[in-house]
Structures are given as C-alpha cells and as structure tokens.
Amino acid sequence: MSNVAEQVKKIVVEHLGVEADKVTESASFIDDLGADSLDTVELVMAFEEAFGVEIPDDAAETIQTVGDAVSFIESKAN
C-alpha cells in the first residue's frame, strides 16, 4: 500500500469512525462506509488539508471510493 493510500485510509477511519479493515480500495464512502453527503464534503476538505492539494468541486463529485481518492491525490502529487 502506498503512502498516500495509508494516509487516506487513516483519515477515513478517523473521520467516519469505521473499522480499518473495511476501508478497502473499492469501498464506497456512501454505500459501504456509511458516509452521508456532508461527510464526503468533509473528507474532501480533510484530504485537501492533509495533502496540500486542491480538489475542485467537479473532481470531488467523482471521488466515490477510497481508491478514487487515492488516485486523484497521487495524480496531483506527481
């Protein structure tokens, strides 16, 4: 697991209060991890802060799963 993925996982676990082993790459924030729409906005804000990236609204809407978040952040970092 990449560094980014580990950090994303940590943020998701903290924010949503879910078990770490449920936070798989394919896990959907809303369908699998019990997030509501406000949680997803807050997660995006937390990612922006943790990784120093800007996630515009149109991109944020495409981030549905843990894997989506990791690949978006990695694409920005590279």
Partner 1 sequence: MFDLTNKRALVTGATGGIGEGIARALHAQGAVVTLSGTREAKLEELAASLGDRVFIQAANLSDRDSVDALVPAAEEKMGGLDILVNNAGITRDNIFMRMKDDEWDSVLEVNLSSTFRLCRAAIKGMMKRRSGRIIGITSVVGVTGNPGQVNYSAAKAGMIGMSKSLAREVASRNITVNTIAPGFIATAMTDELNDKQRESILTSVPAGRLGSVEDIAAAAVYLASDEGGYVTGQTLHVNGGMAMI
Does 30 participate in binding partner 1 (rule CB under 8 A)? Answer: no
CB-CB contact of 36 with 75 (8 Å): no
> Of the two residues 6 and 36, which places its CB atom closer to partner 1 in the complex?
36
Does 38 participate in binding partner 1 (rule CB under 8 A)? Answer: yes
Half-sphere exposure of 62 (CA within 13 A, CB side): 9
Does 20 participate in binding partner 1 (rule CB under 8 A)? Answer: no
Contact segment (CB under 8 A) with partner 1 among 5-13, 23-31, 39-47, 59-67 equals 39-47
The residue type of 1 is: M
